[in-house]
Structure 1
Amino acid sequence: MDDLDRNLIELFAAEPRVGVLEASRRLGVARGTVQARLDKLESSGIVTGWGPDLAPEALGYPVTAFLTLEISQSAGHEAVAEQLAAVPEVLEAYTITGAGDLWCRVVARTNADLQRVIDRVVAASGVQRASTVMALATQVPYRVLPLAGQVGRVD
């Protein structure tokens, strides 16, 4: 990644609907250059999507919790993850090290609704136990953009 790639990423992150022609005008490069760079960033896996970012709170899911799941080793992580993917309130799931086997970020409509979500997660075949931690406030939201600014730079 070079400065043009970083500038493109920053521009499209700030204004996702800016368009290739306007981006080329603002960055002072040819439209074809912008399109080629965007295609390269996408094909290399750096840019993973162009869809809208959604706010669970605005969709009626203001409660966020983190579940640490212990699973039966014979069940396998992939089989459990496949079942978790069928639960709309499960936003992410990761295989982890430490006391648990899988970590999930989930959302719910209310604190009481969180129990329904947990029950649905625990009902997945292979899940033996879940421990839950509720999020009180977001201090640093999920972000990757600052990493793009660091690629190729030495501090």
Structure 2
Amino acid sequence: MSEIDELDARLLLLLSDEPRLGVLECSRQLGVARGTVQARMDRLERRGVLRGFPPAVDLAAMGYVLTAFAVLEIAQGRRVEVAERLEAIDEVCEVHATTGQGDLLVRMVARSNADLQRVIDEVVDVRWVERTSTSIALTTPIPYRVRPLLERAKGQPETPE
């Protein structure tokens, strides 16, 4: 089953707001038994819904003030190989296989325009990359988010386990 129920949503919202909370404190705030919270967390981890508790890192505060997106057209059947080579470029933050004109959408960061040129040159030099189109992000009006989906799920009635 791929959906989450109301208690799962409340737990995930709580952990999103306060990722350092322990199981006992989560159980207290949610009004359920400690074992229930632990079982839910274990199940959410097994299903891949909950994938750890990394800190939220602001790359701009670390000096990576530019974010750019590149659409890559690659040689047919070479997605895995290209992705492996892109993963070796530290400034490549994420890569998505896409439909449409390009094959891969790459999010990358850089410290300056000159640094971005260096990163783009590294991406273009990846074997089997045939064409690229890069855009610099000016602002991020809506950052990556899951809260609205969790809020919606929280409002749904609980489903049997």
Superposition TM-score, scaled by structure 2 size: 0.89
Structure 2 Cα separation of the partners of residues 28 and 94 of structure 1: 39
Structure 2 Cα separation of the partners of residues 153 and 3 of structure 1: 6
CA contact (8 A) 2:10 2:150 kept: no
In the TM superposition, 1:52-63 aligns within 5 A as 52-63=55-66
Which blocks of at least 5 consecutive residues in structure 2 are unaligned? none
Counterpart selection for 2:72 from 69, 81, 87? 69
Identity %: 54
Aligned partner of 1:114 in structure 2 is 116
In the TM superposition, 1:3-152 aligns within 5 A as 3-73=6-76, 76-151=78-153
Give the number of the structure with larger relative contact order, counting CA–CA contacts within 8 Å between residues 6 or more apart: 2
Q: Deviations over 1:55-101 (max 9, x none)?
A: 11122101000001111225x10000000011111111111112111
CA contact (8 A) 2:27 2:37 kept: yes
How many pairs does the alignment contain? 153
Which blocks of at least 5 consecutive residues in structure 1 are unaligned? none
Shift of 1:153: 4.2
Structure 2 Cα separation of the partners of residues 44 and 100 of structure 1: 30
For 1:79, the aligned partner's letter is: E
Distance 1:153 1:7, change over 3 A: closer
CA RMSD between the two structures = 1.6
CA contact (8 A) 2:74 2:128 kept: yes
For 1:138, the aligned partner's letter is: T
Superposition TM-score, scaled by structure 1 size: 0.92
Structure 2 Cα separation of the partners of residues 119 and 111 of structure 1: 12
- Runs (4 or more) in structure 1 with deviation over 3 Å come to 151-154
